[in-house]
Amino acid sequence: MYLYHFGMRELPYTLTPNTDFFLNLKPHVEALQVLLNALKQGEGFIKVTGEVGTGKTLICRKLLNELPRGFAVAYIPNPYLSPQELRLAVAGELGLKFSTDIDQQRLTQLLQQHLLNLSQQGKAVVVILDEAQALPDESLEALRLLTNLETERRKLLQVVLFGQQELDERLAEKKFRQLRQRISFSYQLRSMTVGEVAHYIEHRTKVAGYDGQRLFSEANAKRIAIASKGIPRLVNILCHKSLLLCYGAGEKVISKKHVNGAIVDTVDASRFQAKTPQFLAASLLIAASLLLFSYLGNS
């Protein structure tokens, strides 16, 4: 695609969370600090919520990479599970061996004994759930009951919930008041500021290997910040499309025309300018570039 054109080693604005591109933005650093400090203190439930695309999964993966030795981790990336499936997933992640048709009471007993053994070895156990807003009601309650497993001094199991804002709305319901009261630490991720977006854009191009003059001017970075509302995922989409347009035009520096074309072509971006034929032509160029890339990749 445009890698050779801009002298990059890899795509800088992919949608896959990649910790190599992690930038020490204030909200992300604060969230990590809250998580690590809470886990070290042995708290029961910890929650991080935020709008779609604000970087929750990236922080989740960064946490997995930075957990100190002494933690046993059960990572559940897709928690749309029944209570039985959730217990099986946690037990399997923690290395327990059992028959797939095991009785749930027996599984709970095995899990409790395993947690006690890990505690005696000096290990803290943490269950990390991404997309926690997808947990069924019964599974949220099963998760709370799992955290009842404890010694006289500490919980045998800690839980970190990463979720969209819908998770907060659900936990505000009366039926979840017991679980809600067990959440000792919470963090609400915010969107990036205009200045943070500019820094973010430049950081990712450098990590990708770009070593030329600045690709996105301050004015264009501001346009992207406004259109994306500071949401990292949308920033990535707009930057990627802007680079495609620039490459398709055979140019080396992103112009206002490229950015506006990318904005028009992105459904969730703010339309701060009208759709003129010029912008529509730019959108068609994006589509043509994508088709060309697909054709070359299959040839």
Q: Is the pLDDT of residue 275 over 70?
A: no
pLDDT one-digit tens code per residue, 192-232:
999 999 999 999 999 999 998 999 999 999 999 999 999 99
Per-residue pLDDT tens over the stretch 242-262: 999 999 999 999 999 999 999
For residue 296, pLDDT over 50 is answered with no
Q: Residues, the chain, total?
A: 299
Indicate the pTM of the whole model. Answer: 0.86
Q: Each residue of 65-100: pLDDT tens digit?
A: 999 889 999 999 988 999 999 999 999 999 998 887
Domains of the chain (ranges; CATH) run 26-188 (3.40.50.300), 193-298 (no CATH)
Q: Which of 78, 113, 83, 82 is nearest to 97 (CA)?
A: 113
Q: Has residue 273 got a pLDDT over 50?
A: no
**Which residue type is seen at 9?**
R
Residue 41: what pLDDT? 85
CA distances from 105 to 108, 138, 190 (A): 5, 16, 41
Q: What is the mean pLDDT of residues 24-32?
A: 93
More confident residue, 255 or 42: 255
Q: What is the mean pLDDT of residues 10-20?
A: 94
| Arithmetic mean of pLDDT over the chain | 88
Mean pLDDT for 99-118 is 88
Task: Please report the pLDDT score of residue 118 as a whole number.
Answer: 92
Does the pLDDT at position 158 exceed 60? yes
Which residues, listed in sequence order, are joined to residue 120 by a DSSP beta bridge? none
Task: Quote the CA–CA distance of 290 and 71 in Å, as a whole number.
Answer: 44
pLDDT band at 284 (very low <50, low <70, confident <90, very high): very low
- The band of 271, judged by pLDDT with boundaries at 50, 70 and 90, is low
Model confidence pLDDT, tens digit, residues 145-156: 888 877 667 788
Q: What is the pLDDT of residues 123-135, one digit of tens each?
A: 999 999 999 999 9
Among residues 149, 86, 140, which one has the least CA distance to residue 117? 149
Distance CA 85, CA 5 (A): 48
Neighbouring CB atoms inside 10 A of 34's CB total: 16
So what's the pLDDT on residue 270?
A: 61
Beta carbons of 15 and 26 less than 8 angstroms apart: no
